[in-house]
Amino acid sequence: MSQLTFILYACVNFTILFCVSAHNLIHKSNNDNNDRYNYYLPAYAVASEASSLLNSTLCEEELLNFRNAVDQRILWSLRVLDSSGEFQSGFLYGNNYWLGSRIQCFDTMNTASLQISKRHLLNNTLYRDLQKEIPPFKVNYFAAHFKHNSTLQYHINVPNEDVMTLGLCLPASCSANDISFILEKIFRDRIFLISDLYSVDFKLIQVKNLKNDYEWLTSGAIFICVILLLSIFMVIIGTIYDIFVNRKCSNKKSRINNKHCIIISMYINYLLKILNCDLDEETVIQEMEIETASLKKSRIGKILLCFSVFTNTKIIFNTELHANTLPVIHGLKFLSTFCLIIGHGVVYMIEYIDNKVWSWKFMTDVILINVPVTVDTFFFLSGLLVSYIYIKNKTDKDQKQLFSYRAKINEFFIFVIRRFIRLTPAYMTVLAISQLSSTWFDKTSPFFIKEVPHETCSKYWWRNLFYINNLFSFKTMLESTYKIFKFFFLLKCMSWSWYLSADMQFFMIGIALLILSTIYFHMAAFILGTLLISSIVLIGYFSYIYEFVPTLDEQYRLLDELYFPPWLRISPYIIGIITGYILTQLNGKLNLKKRTVILCWCFSSACNIITLLSLYDRLKVSILASAIYMSLHRVFWAVGIAWIVIACATQHGGIVYQILSFKGWVPFSRLTYSAYLLNPIIVHSLRLQSEKSVHFEFLPMLTLCTGYFVFIYICSYVLSLIAEAPYILLMRETMQANNRRKM
């Protein structure tokens, strides 16, 4: 009996000991699982740390509810957790985006059932119990930006490449400050697995609540919207007026006697002459005065016609060119714009690419490093057109005009004012759009925005208005609000608009020298040559003292020193002025032997090829060789383009002339200015509204950039109708009225 009692006692104790051990193992297993969630899942880690940081707030309560629901595998909590970002592969190659899904986060509160058949709906475990599927509280999507200091990640030395973005789907009762407080604690305790795996620490920059509360409208956005809507309203009214007048013109019997029809036809022919560079404004105005002397036109009607979509579209898409124009200009502008947009598409998308290192290896050798030569092409074409049109018009006019210094000074200011009015309306419109879109995306985009026009343009818009923004520093290191570290910001408003300022400054220099050449030709030629040689010497000198090697990271480092200063970029413009003068002297005729023409083509091709490929292996180039290259590569490129223009203008172009003079390029060429203004805004906007980063692959990227090109030109057409063509016509009408009063 005693033995049986002992056996029963032993069995009971063993059973109790086994149950206690099992309970401890289960509890330990649960704790290990929870620790594992903390280790891998940032949203769960935030919820787990809430109790020790927040003081009995609704945010704390809902975060703990979320954590407990995850522990119990309740469906709504798993959906919320699945919407948050987590550690992604590719960190060593530059994947700093743990974004999750904002759309999925907000969709967790959507009570509408999936639109599929009932048979499948009943068998779908996701739609059996709405109480377990829908969160018991509202959720919101937060974006946390923080810097890492990992030395294991490959760095390509571009701005803010160590900034990471984490998307978090959390209770809407939590504020950005609450999430910031918790994340700082998590970063200090190095809870995340990646902290130990890659020996990395994190420093928080900011947490953004991406709920759109429309507060951005109170920061001056309403005023911008009103101005843009007024411009669109003027276009609508002008189009209605134009169509109404055109209906009268459709009657052949009344067309001759209808003064409105004469006005429309006259305006179209007038602007076409200007756009095709046939005549200068004064000559066309004199012709119009003769044609319209007998007409008493309505001033309001003339203003409305300037805003007509119908009239301006006919002007833009008209492909007829005057005999004295240079048709190859349109082809060069279109091809340069295409290359520029593709290059900008890649350059501006580098901020959103999650495999930066691989894309860098693929792109830097040929593509990105040579994008700036397209800008030099535009400088060359601008200088060419200024000199060609000015000298051509002066040659065609009566040379017996009396000389006067005051007249020459007035001529200079008239040219500058016309140029200002030609460029500024579209420029300021795009600046307003840039500021508006930046304000919007600053509140709604999860990405870290490097260029912040809503801050810079509100402070420095006057630099853009007076075309001097390229004379100020491009980049700056601003301290974050947390005073922990510094990060890179672009200080310019519309950073790509440096080109417009440089072009305006070059125009003023060029037109001043052209006017001077009508009095003292040799002095003007000497000054022009001195400027060219000085620019070549200066860029070589600065390149050498800054120890520049032409890689893309070095270009970023020395933007203010070597890329933007106008005195270092003027050489292609001067080559363009010289080329324009040569064309006017040749007058379309250049008698050369076939062998000489072939040698010239070989020399031109060599200049362009040397510029593009001479520094293929850039890391092996010495500082001295790099300085020589920087001194001469823009001149070589411009000389190569100059021969193409001269050959095509003197019937030595062959197939190159046939390609570049294709009439289909003409409408695209007329939209080049608007396309240049808009392309970075569109690239940034299409990426900032996305909730995913970009994974670089050649064919998908090429397709994407081609799509950008098409969309940019559609938007350019709209911008031209609203803010470019109407103001050109208004300027011409004002000049005509002034000349008529003088007479």
SS3 per-residue string spanning 661-720:
CCCCHHHHHHCHHHHHHHHHHHHHHHHHCCCCCECCCHHHHHHHHHHHHHHHHHHHHHHH
- Could you give the CA distance from residue 624 to residue 611 in angstroms, rounded to a whole number? 16
Does residue 252 carry a pLDDT above 70? no
pLDDT at 171: 93
Q: Are residues 567 and 676 in the same domain?
A: yes
Half-sphere exposure in the Cβ direction for 369 (13 Å, CA): 23
Q: What is the total count of domains within the chain? A: 3
Exposed, middle or buried, 13 (CB in 10 Å: 0-12/13-18/19+)? exposed
pLDDT in tens, 74-95: 889 999 999 999 988 888 988 9
* Residue 265 resides in a domain: yes
Does residue 298 carry a pLDDT above 80? no
pLDDT at 152: 87
The proportion of the chain whose per-residue pLDDT surpasses 90, expressed as a percent, equals: 42
* Residue 323 resides in a domain: no
- Please report which confidence band the pLDDT of residue 305 belongs to, taking 50, 70 and 90 as the band edges: confident
- Please report which confidence band the pLDDT of residue 664 belongs to, taking 50, 70 and 90 as the band edges: very high
pLDDT at 559: 86
Select from 343, 348, 377, 341 the least CA-distant residue to 363. 343
Q: Are residues 237 and 345 in the same domain?
A: no
pLDDT at 132: 76
More confident residue, 323 or 519: 519
Q: Are residues 726 and 690 in the same domain?
A: yes
- Please report which confidence band the pLDDT of residue 332 belongs to, taking 50, 70 and 90 as the band edges: very high
More confident residue, 182 or 248: 182
Q: Are residues 178 and 266 in the same domain?
A: no
Task: Strand 139-148: give its sheet, edge to edge.
Answer: 97-98, 163-171, 139-148, 202-209
More confident residue, 21 or 494: 494
pLDDT at 289: 45
Q: Are residues 237 and 356 in the same domain?
A: no
pLDDT in tens, 580-639: 999 999 988 888 889 999 999 999 999 998 888 777 677 778 899 899 999 999 999 999
* Residue 18 resides in a domain: no
Q: Are residues 495 and 603 in the same domain?
A: yes
Tokens 């007058």 belong to: 587
More confident residue, 558 or 637: 637
Domain span at residue 241 reads: 230-277
More confident residue, 316 or 731: 316
- Please report which confidence band the pLDDT of residue 462 belongs to, taking 50, 70 and 90 as the band edges: very high
pLDDT at 516: 93
- Please report which confidence band the pLDDT of residue 290 belongs to, taking 50, 70 and 90 as the band edges: very low
Q: Are residues 526 and 659 in the same domain?
A: yes
Select from 573, 528, 565, 527 the least CA-distant residue to 543. 565
pTM of the complete model: 0.85
Does residue 464 carry a pLDDT above 90? yes
Mean pLDDT value of segment 237-253: 69
Does residue 685 carry a pLDDT above 70? yes
Mean pLDDT value of segment 143-148: 93
- Could you give the CA distance from residue 653 to residue 539 in angstroms, rounded to a whole number? 33
Q: Are residues 509 and 562 in the same domain?
A: yes
pLDDT at 432: 92
pLDDT at 489: 55
Between 303-317, 414-428, 473-487, 694-708, the lowest mean confidence (pLDDT) is in 473-487
More confident residue, 476 or 560: 560
pLDDT at 346: 83
Between 145-149, 440-444, 582-586, 679-683, the lowest mean confidence (pLDDT) is in 440-444
Domain boundary among 209, 239, 261: 209
Does residue 572 carry a pLDDT above 90? yes
Q: Residue 234 has which token pair? A: 């003027």
Q: Are residues 589 and 680 in the same domain?
A: yes
- Which amino acid is it at 160? N
Q: Are residues 183 and 252 in the same domain?
A: no
* Residue 273 resides in a domain: yes
* Residue 440 resides in a domain: yes
More confident residue, 169 or 28: 169
* Residue 516 resides in a domain: yes
Exposed, middle or buried, 57 (CB in 10 Å: 0-12/13-18/19+)? middle
Q: Are residues 205 and 245 in the same domain?
A: no
- Could you give the CA distance from residue 358 to residue 356 in angstroms, rounded to a whole number? 6
Mean pLDDT value of segment 162-169: 93
pLDDT at 551: 79
Does residue 481 carry a pLDDT above 60? no
Q: Are residues 237 and 205 in the same domain?
A: no
pLDDT at 456: 87
